[in-house]
Structure 1
Amino acid sequence: MAVMVVNRQRRATVSPARLARVAGRALAALGRALGDVDVLVVDDAVIKRLNGRHRGVGRRTDVLAFPLQAPGIPSPLVGQIVISAETARRQARRLKVPLATELDLLVTHGVLHLVGYDDRDPVEARLMHEREREILTAGRRQPPARLWQGLLDTAAPAGASVSGHPRSTSGSRAPQ
């Protein structure tokens, strides 16, 4: 497994090594320990541009995932994840959790998207969020309960953000 993390922003302090470890743990938990993932950390302007170009949504979001495997063609490359550090920082402040904890969630969420999880349907969203929690809490101390606020007790609306977190409100996980 290879996880490459590139930090292309300067507005928030991130640990590429930590993000690589989190992505690696998520891949291993999903049976993709040999998979390769690229994680790109950007600012809001870049993620807004990417969201517009690839999804037709001209607003910022917290995380985008780009699976790079063609059906039926084996490949070690799972895909690319793009995270807005600025949006993650706002969400962390709002939830009163460390930025690193929020970034852990976003990396895990992105990996789940890469391997086929979706959160547009309320039932699928619930399954995805439960899997996030399992991966993030496996063998470690529990992340702050605030991190899970709204993830498992409500359903994602149709057309929700790529991250699709039901707790999304203006200035949080929903695209801006």
Structure 2
Amino acid sequence: MTPRPIEIQNRHPRLRAPVAQVRRVIALLDAHFRILPADLPTFSPAARARCRSATAEPQPSALAAGELSLVFLTDPALAQLHADFMDDPSPTDVITFEGDAAAGLAGEVCVSADTARAYAREHGHDFATELTLYLVHGWLHLVGYDDLQPAKKRRMRAAEARALKLLAAHAAIPAFALAAPPPPRRPRAR
């Protein structure tokens, strides 16, 4: 299996995002993540069609072929995308844009490193694992999972847990690091 083209953009000034490790996350998900048959009824018809092989068994990767774009952003930058494309200016953790298979695009996943850091601190989680979860969440949206209804949200949360377990078993959680913001500048005494 040829690795999928992945465009990674780190637009967060304080985030250290190890590109090779991020690529490995996507390669492992593409190659080894399995859609459970019980999850298929919650998918759109197009997503269900991508998930079926000739033998009607779920395929390891139901993500459409083509380039996948991953973008790491600050809270204000992701909130601006949220406002521009979803008419909601509130901060969020992940925004996923569906691709166009005919154009060779699998989709785009935009994540907020700031939100991951805040959530990880607030809940006693590891920052790198939290930010990886956001990548997984976006990838799962592109595969066909949805989280807008309670039953679909439960399926997605279970899929997230399976994906993180897969990545942990392969020691594939990227070593993300986010430097603390610089202290506020004090005005000079004259």
Shared fold per TM-score greater than 0.5: yes
Measured after TM superposition, the shift of residue 92 of structure 1 is: 1.4
What RMSD over aligned residues (CA atoms) do the two structures have, in Å? 2.3
Q: State the distance in 2 between where 1:48 and 1:84 align.
A: 9
Provide the residue aligned with 1:18 in structure 2.
21
Q: State the distance in 1 between where 2:104 and 2:163 align.
A: 21
1:131 paired residue among 122, 138, 159: 159
Structure 1: 5+ residue runs without aligned partners? 144-176
Q: State the distance in 2 between where 1:126 and 1:74 align.
A: 32
Measured after TM superposition, the shift of residue 32 of structure 1 is: 4.2
Q: Which has the higher helix share?
A: 2
Q: State the distance in 1 between where 2:160 and 2:66 align.
A: 18
Structure 2: 5+ residue runs without aligned partners? 34-59, 172-190
Q: Give aligned-pair identity as a percent.
A: 31
Measured after TM superposition, the shift of residue 35 of structure 1 is: 4.2
The 8 Å contact of residues 78 and 112 in structure 2, kept in 1 or not, is answered as yes
Provide the residue aligned with 1:120 in structure 2.
148
2:77 paired residue among 46, 66, 86: 46
Provide the residue aligned with 1:108 in structure 2.
136
TM-score by length of 2: 0.66
Measured after TM superposition, the shift of residue 39 of structure 1 is: 0.3
Deviation string 1:6-36 (CA, Å, 9 cap, x unpaired) is 1011133332332222222223324147543
Measured after TM superposition, the shift of residue 142 of structure 1 is: 10
Instruction: Say if 1:4 and 1:88 are closer, same or farther in 2 by CA, change over 3 A.
Output: same
Measured after TM superposition, the shift of residue 136 of structure 1 is: 1.5
Q: Report the number of matched residues.
A: 140
Higher RCO structure, 1 or 2 (CA under 8 Å, sep 6+): 2
Q: Which has the larger radius of gyration?
A: 2
Q: Write out the 4+ residue segments of structure 1 that deviate beyond 3 Å after TM superposition.
A: 32-35, 73-76, 139-143
Measured after TM superposition, the shift of residue 90 of structure 1 is: 0.7
Q: State the distance in 1 between where 2:21 and 2:150 align.
A: 30
- The one-letter amino acid of 2:82's match is N
